[in-house]
Structure 1
Amino acid sequence: MATVVVQQHQVPLRQSPTPPPLGAALTLNIPRTSTPVPNKHIPYCPAGSAPPSSQTITPPNSPQAKSSTAQPRSVLHPATSHTKLLNTPPVFGISAKTLSLALEQISTTPLPDPHQVFPWLHGLHAENQIQLAFFVAKKKWLRRTPKCLRAITIVKAGGDLSVSRLKGSVAPDEILSLCDNNDKGFLECDPREGFSVRNFHIQAAKIARVSDIIVYGDQTTDQRIIKSVAERASIVQRRWRKELESSGQCLEHFNTFVLTTPFEEVEREHPELIAVDSAGKPTAQSMDFLQWERDEMCEMSKASEFTQGVYQGPTPDWNSVAENHSGNIFDVFIETGDQAQVPDDECLSSRLQQLESSDSVHVDFPSSGSILPPSWSTAEVDGLLCMCRWIYDLTHPDNITSISTSTRQQSPKDQDGDIQMTSFAPPEPRKVLIHCADGYTESTLLSLAYYMYAEGVPVHAAWLQMHCERKRNFFAYPCDVALLTSIQERILSESPARRGRLIAQKGSDDPPTWLSKMDGSLPSRILPYMYLGNLTHANNPELLRSMGISRILSIGEPVSWDQKEKDRWGAENLVLVDKVQDNGIDPLTDEFERCLEFIGQGKKDNTATLVHCRVGVSRSATICIAEVMASMGLSFPRAYCFVRARRLNVIIQPHLRFVYELLKWDEHLQLQRAGNEKGEGKDRSRGIKREMEWQSVCREIACMNRPYARS
């Protein structure tokens, strides 16, 4: 939960690395098809400039508010055109066909402009003086519920969303207080204290207040439960409207409906409405962000050969391998993990002997970050070098050293004690996969060390060559860099590639200055021509040049370069988008086309652009998502997961307003594509259709972040 630090001088807002803890009613504790991607963390993300004093709290400038547009029309309004199931409180019935039409209408209606719904969507609790002072100051009218919103909230009575789930549906306790002693009825979701611009977990509850509510159940749901939830929703809607009217606000009526079509019929006749079928299997209509991120991660880090016979990638799906024997192309699987120990000679000899009689063998090795300086032992370093030699001998049978020794030790003897005659035919080269869960984090130490050993290059060259030439995205802990730098001389002295000067050195072994300025991570390659990074990356121009990056797009945070360095890069290759803080107020939409044009020019020039802000998770991530959407034709949800997977160990965190702006950008791109296809004289509005609604997008992001949030 974020807090504002009020001091005499302007300082960044202090915000915790994680979203606020979710309350009992906002647990979002929905079963998922996969576990979160490991090794991710939510970094500290400054929210902008703090107020100058505790007496005068002035928020950053925001665009002047325009008059709110009228509420969008709805298939469900007026409710009197539908069958009335209950008089008091009023509850109406609709069919699956009507629901499908209503959802289609919602998804093809443009969202209101951001200034019409913010800061209300941030969560403005009457007792949260910090949040109120920052966002609305004395402008109380900004606290009002927007009149331009009319949504649909689908509630599954019973609350089991793991089966028979309609698209976008929520459990009753995610939006309603089910206790009669609650006067308001809607769940109190706005935070009472603290400051946050990333309240994703409250959006379903907030949007429910400006929604027609549709209640349904599956074939196992008692009809009395459906009736009870519908009655409660209708009562709460009327309490909410009465409260608004007492404060001088006036909204159109929102109503409660019950889906009268049995779920099995909906499943059969309207599959476009089904997210999870009655057997608990997700359908093509659903998008689980956690699963999509994992799929994108596996695609990004899929196994590839980074030196002769040695591959790096994610841990294979052993079930798939078992079903398809031809897919098992590797002879040796080396899994890196926290619980593993450095294998000794006896273990490696045993695995080698097993390999002679089986299709493949498995070996465990410690993960990256597990051998810590300066306390590492000689045995650990010896084990690392022994592992490198073992892998090299497996993949280079024409250069047998340790394997031949091990094999002789295990060769059978006859009755006289003589070693039996064996074939002198050279063994076939083996293929080795170094793997871990995400395909890069735990396996980076061994992969880098082996690349140095096999190719005979120092650590900085191994780093760049693996990333730039071998196209491997990876993350290395600072302690791994310190370890490899310390033992570099020994690795290179034992390298077969340098034995007898078989290859020419590719430069000095002395580390370049850029290596000392790194914390272990390279900028994240999102696309071949676009990298996402932080201010530390941007202030390491030597590293950027070494990576083939020659253009810098700074979002709100200028680089600290001397004039000589700026002249070396050229003014045309440096762009600063100024006065954009990560504060939930400053917009980025107006800068999208300018930024994407700059990135696109780098692509045309066959060079790469670094997009950065301070941390590389919000402002710059928003620009990168916008580029992925534009260049790849992806919807916001898919582009978000695409970029999030490729940011490696850092979780991107565009705040609520940026996410909303990206959904509007999605609409803009769809209209643009529709115009290009149909011509300017056609009805371009038909090109708009959101894949997911605002509250569903936010709910998925909250579910993704929850495993990393601190309770």
Structure 2
Amino acid sequence: MIMFNQSSPPSSLAHANAAIPSHLHPVALRSTAKASSPLTTAASQLAEAQLRVCVPPTRRSPSITSAASSPSPSSPSSSASSSRSPGSSDAHQSIYGLNIDHSAYRPLSALHPTAPHAESIRLITCAEYADIYERYLRSAAAVDEKTVFPYLHCPDRPGTAQASYFSQSKPAARHPPPAYRGLTVLTADPVLGPRPSRTRSRSLGSASTASASTSSSSAPPLSATSSPATSVDGPEPRASLLTSALAPEQVLERDPASGALLGRFVRKPMPSSTVNLRLFGHQPGQYAGLSDVVVYAEAGLSAPVLELAALVVEAQAEFKKRAAPKLEYHVLVVCEEFEVFEREHGALVAVDGWGFKRSKVDFFERERLEMESLTRASEIEENVWFGNTADAMRDQEQAGHGRFSVMIEAHDSARIPSESELESVVCNLLARPRKAPSSYRPPVHLEVPSTGPAAGQSSMDLLVRSLQEFCGWVSRIAGSGHKILVHCHDGYTETSLFGLAYLIHRRRCPLSAAYLHLQLHANRSFFLYPSDLTLLRYFERRCSYADPSLPAITRSARWLEDGFEGHFPSRILPFLYLGNLAHASNLGMLRALGITAVVSMGESVGGALAGAGIAHLDVRAVADDGLDRISAHLPSTLAFIERARVNGGKVLVHCRVGVSRSATVVIAYVMAHCNVDLAAAYLLVRSRRLNILIQPNLVFMWALRRWEAQLAFINLGPTLEAVMHGGQCNCGVCGDEADGRLVRRRVGGGAWSWSALANEISLLNQRYLC
């Protein structure tokens, strides 16, 4: 969990400012601004006053201990508060979300009354920001989905299907903004890259020198992977980023002609004829209207910060005129330099001033690492290994120490080598001494098709015969002691066809037995499309009668015929599967996988499970309609899963498709059981769902974010505590530090604002969805 520095800030900022080289000092930086800027003069005057106003000796923020009580997870009303800032228009309005006394922060007008919108802008220090941010994270534990939805679905767009759909439950309803206060964080720095000339004398943590000695002793220790000297990722395009910080253009509109930012919150266009319950890309603009907005920059209080803050004030005024919100929202400006965050509040820093990652999570990169971790090379039969292409590349980089003599890449346009080509490879391999490192030679590279032909029985016959011969060749080479790696890009899709075919041929087993061996004994995740299932059934028959001297292969199990779609439900943890309604209805498959309990989220399978001796939790009152809440069902559902695990069983969680309701439950369980934050749990489940893209709707993602806050800040009672404390198991995620590149943050260790989380999910989905 983030450990916020609650101690009093240094009595003076003079030591830190004295260490700034003259050409990097905020005043010097501001003096280079264009003279035509209307705020340049005001910003320059404010800079000199910065040291004496940022830390008023007698004006402190309220204690964090009163920021949030410990509301019950099932009691959304406990998030309301009636304490308000004196003089605000919402003084007697019960609100939800962030609860702070804005009068505790000095207005900009106290220093420069003529600055644009000076009365509406308040100044805060880095320590005060840390306090506000933790209050915001804590507040999420008590904000029920119905508080902010359907408003965050963007039903306030007249003439759209979205507006019509969400008005059905409340005819003629206009869906006004809710009485809720969130937090949006904006960086005013342009994309100029990391600070180019900052010297090591301003390094952080243990590297700090006397120039920062006043606070180095209390600064939180930094991870070795986050310092400029040891990061292997290289600098980020944008430096000096706080966790949850957004760029201005993600929240404010741009003038289409000039490209200049405007004083209006972004309202992305929406299709007029379709309803979308997953408008993640729309959230930064929609949520900003319900938020206090914090603006900061590398240089602290500066002209760019004040210009951006003024635009946000104008955007809030436009929003107030258009939507008539129930609350007054505020703009807060951080008046200290970013290095104070680096030195005293390192847990809040996503990217430091050098451009190196501290706590930033790249969702696409993390998803890739999760996939590589899941599909790392493993042996499915003697000397035959399956893995991903990254495994193949790493093995080849170990010159003289590679494990594999043959590497076979599976892809859809591959051609199986001819008999003469394979014999040539055999002669080459058999001539090599197998255990003489000094005689190392690079592996032989071959390929195999990943899928069957598009059409034509003759083409299928040819492929099946070629596969039989190739399987025999691989078995011969493996039997001679040479190791073989079969790989593909993701480590499970393109290799599945050949993997199952090889097991049928090598073990002379039915296709159903090959499925179970690969899943349960070889412990490999794989995914087969229905069309390739037909090809493998034909391959099974051909292998059965290929050699009359051998007994025929027994018939596959019945479950392979009963509406089986070609793939098992996705194994998220060794005891936890995520699937669809067809999976839950296939009793034979459930028994074969050892599944002892089923959770049905809104899609019932009837009474068949009870007769089969499978425990069943049927959760009916939850639809994937953008309205139904799921948080009320999480405690009982997770407790049911935990009881099955403790009793040595396995659980399948399903809905209709297995991407939204059931995925939400599984993510929530992974967060609690494995003690990982929402981002880590979401990406883990997403990667292990294989070729099926999980898509919890906005309401369900809000519930998960609330669940994360409850796990971090609230005593959930003995039942759910058992789920959380049961995490020391052999699931491969709990306490997994085997892959140094993949460090999953603990619950509460990297919580995001709603708009930042939604933005990251939107960017990730853009790679897969049109």
TM-score bucket of the superposed structures, by smaller chain: 0.7 to 0.9
Q: Give 1:487's match in structure 2, choosing from 536, 539, 557.
A: 539
Counterpart in the other structure of 2:70: none
Counterpart in the other structure of 1:568: 611
Q: Secondary structure at the match of 1:197?
A: coil
Partner Cα distance (2:451, 2:173) in 1: 53
Deviation of 1:323 after TM superposition, in Å, equals 5.8
Q: Could you tell me the TM-score, scaled by structure 2's length?
A: 0.70
Partner Cα distance (2:122, 2:301) in 1: 18
Alpha-carbon displacement from aligned partner over 1:71-104 (angstroms, at most 9, x marks no partner): 6334865542567567213355544444334323
Counterpart in the other structure of 1:206: 286
Moved more, 699-708 or 598-607: 598-607
Alpha-carbon displacement from aligned partner over 1:218-266 (angstroms, at most 9, x marks no partner): 58x997655543332232223323444xx4x4422311525541x5665
Q: Give 1:237's match in structure 2, choosing from 308, 316, 334.
A: 316
**Residues 131 and 626 (structure 1), Cα distance of their counterparts in 2 relative to 1, 3 Å cut:** same
Moved more, 542-551 or 75-84: 75-84
Deviation of 1:320 after TM superposition, in Å, equals 4.6
Q: Give 1:435's match in structure 2, choosing from 477, 487, 498.
A: 487
Counterpart in the other structure of 1:168: 244
Alpha-carbon displacement from aligned partner over 1:514-563 (angstroms, at most 9, x marks no partner): 33522211111122222111111122212222221232221111115xx6
Alpha-carbon displacement from aligned partner over 1:601-634 (angstroms, at most 9, x marks no partner): 3223322222111111111111111221222122
**Residues 354 and 580 (structure 1), Cα distance of their counterparts in 2 relative to 1, 3 Å cut:** same
- How is 1:624-663 mapped onto 2 (pairs within 5 angstroms)? 624-663=666-705
**Residues 289 and 328 (structure 1), Cα distance of their counterparts in 2 relative to 1, 3 Å cut:** same
Unaligned 5+ runs, structure 2: 1-75, 81-93, 193-235, 433-438, 722-746
Partner Cα distance (1:531, 1:71) in 2: 35
**Residues 343 and 228 (structure 1), Cα distance of their counterparts in 2 relative to 1, 3 Å cut:** farther
Partner Cα distance (1:118, 1:698) in 2: 15
Deviation of 1:434 after TM superposition, in Å, equals 0.8
- How is 1:199-348 mapped onto 2 (pairs within 5 angstroms)? 199-217=279-297, 225-244=304-323, 247=324, 249-257=325-333, 260-261=336-337, 263=338, 266-267=341-342, 270-283=345-358, 285-316=359-390, 320-321=394-395, 324-325=398-399, 328-348=402-422
**Residues 140 and 101 (structure 1), Cα distance of their counterparts in 2 relative to 1, 3 Å cut:** farther
Deviation of 1:190 after TM superposition, in Å, equals 6.9
How many residues are matched?
593
In the alignment, is the contact (CA less than 8 A) between 1:535 and 1:613 conserved in 2? yes
Counterpart in the other structure of 2:477: 394
**Residues 567 and 320 (structure 1), Cα distance of their counterparts in 2 relative to 1, 3 Å cut:** closer
Alpha-carbon displacement from aligned partner over 1:272-331 (angstroms, at most 9, x marks no partner): 333234554433x11222222222222222211111111111112566546655873222
In the alignment, is the contact (CA less than 8 A) between 2:525 and 2:571 conserved in 1? yes
Partner Cα distance (2:188, 2:455) in 1: 54
Deviation of 1:650 after TM superposition, in Å, equals 0.3
Counterpart in the other structure of 1:596: 638
Partner Cα distance (1:196, 1:472) in 2: 35
Counterpart in the other structure of 1:107: 137
- How is 1:387-466 mapped onto 2 (pairs within 5 angstroms)? 387-397=470-480, 429-466=481-518
Give the aligned CA root-mean-square deviation in angstroms. Answer: 3.5
**Residues 645 and 621 (structure 1), Cα distance of their counterparts in 2 relative to 1, 3 Å cut:** same
1:557 paired to 2:603 = yes
Q: Give 1:670's match in structure 2, choosing from 712, 722, 732.
A: 712
Unaligned 5+ runs, structure 1: 1-62, 398-428, 680-686
Residue type of the partner of 1:662?
L
**Residues 238 and 180 (structure 1), Cα distance of their counterparts in 2 relative to 1, 3 Å cut:** farther
In the alignment, is the contact (CA less than 8 A) between 1:162 and 1:276 conserved in 2? no
Deviation of 1:115 after TM superposition, in Å, equals 1.5
Counterpart in the other structure of 1:615: 657
Counterpart in the other structure of 2:564: 518
Deviation of 1:673 after TM superposition, in Å, equals 5.8
**Residues 689 and 487 (structure 1), Cα distance of their counterparts in 2 relative to 1, 3 Å cut:** closer
Indicate the structure whose relative CO is greater, using CA pairs within 8 Å and at least 6 residues apart.
Answer: 1
Residue type of the partner of 1:205?
G
Moved more, 626-635 or 67-76: 67-76
Deviation of 1:364 after TM superposition, in Å, equals 3.6
Q: Give 1:73's match in structure 2, choosing from 99, 105, 110.
A: 99
Counterpart in the other structure of 1:196: 276
**Residues 440 and 319 (structure 1), Cα distance of their counterparts in 2 relative to 1, 3 Å cut:** closer
Q: Secondary structure at the match of 1:574?
A: strand
Alpha-carbon displacement from aligned partner over 1:14-66 (angstroms, at most 9, x marks no partner): xxxxxxxxxxxxxxxxxxxxxxxxxxxxxxxxxxxxxxxxxxxxxxxxx9999
Residue type of the partner of 1:695?
S
Partner Cα distance (1:146, 1:84) in 2: 34
Q: Secondary structure at the match of 2:767?
A: helix
Partner Cα distance (2:612, 2:653) in 1: 15
Residue type of the partner of 1:369?
T
- How is 1:698-709 mapped onto 2 (pairs within 5 angstroms)? 698-709=758-769
Counterpart in the other structure of 1:401: none
In the alignment, is the contact (CA less than 8 A) between 1:625 and 1:643 conserved in 2? yes
Q: Secondary structure at the match of 1:109?
A: helix
Q: Secondary structure at the match of 2:596?
A: strand
Partner Cα distance (1:70, 1:626) in 2: 23
Partner Cα distance (1:458, 1:526) in 2: 26
Partner Cα distance (1:184, 1:487) in 2: 65
Q: Secondary structure at the match of 2:501?
A: helix
Partner Cα distance (1:636, 1:643) in 2: 11
Partner Cα distance (2:676, 2:562) in 1: 38
Q: Secondary structure at the match of 2:134?
A: helix
Counterpart in the other structure of 2:445: 363
Percent identity between the two aligned chains: 29
**Residues 499 and 180 (structure 1), Cα distance of their counterparts in 2 relative to 1, 3 Å cut:** closer
Deviation of 1:380 after TM superposition, in Å, equals 2.7
Partner Cα distance (1:317, 1:232) in 2: 50
Deviation of 1:580 after TM superposition, in Å, equals 1.6
**Residues 241 and 473 (structure 1), Cα distance of their counterparts in 2 relative to 1, 3 Å cut:** same
1:579 paired to 2:621 = yes
Q: Give 2:149's match in structure 1, choosing from 118, 122, 137.
A: 118
Partner Cα distance (1:614, 1:84) in 2: 60
Counterpart in the other structure of 1:89: 117
Residue type of the partner of 1:345?
E
In the alignment, is the contact (CA less than 8 A) between 1:155 and 1:170 conserved in 2? yes
Partner Cα distance (1:75, 1:344) in 2: 77
Counterpart in the other structure of 1:477: 529
Partner Cα distance (2:401, 2:500) in 1: 26
Partner Cα distance (1:453, 1:134) in 2: 55
Counterpart in the other structure of 1:30: none
**Residues 634 and 485 (structure 1), Cα distance of their counterparts in 2 relative to 1, 3 Å cut:** same
In the alignment, is the contact (CA less than 8 A) between 1:128 and 1:192 conserved in 2? no
Deviation of 1:368 after TM superposition, in Å, equals 2.3
**Residues 203 and 272 (structure 1), Cα distance of their counterparts in 2 relative to 1, 3 Å cut:** same
Q: Secondary structure at the match of 1:272?
A: helix
Partner Cα distance (1:150, 1:567) in 2: 46
Q: Could you tell me the TM-score, scaled by structure 1's length?
A: 0.75
Q: Secondary structure at the match of 2:644?
A: helix
1:468 paired to 2:520 = yes
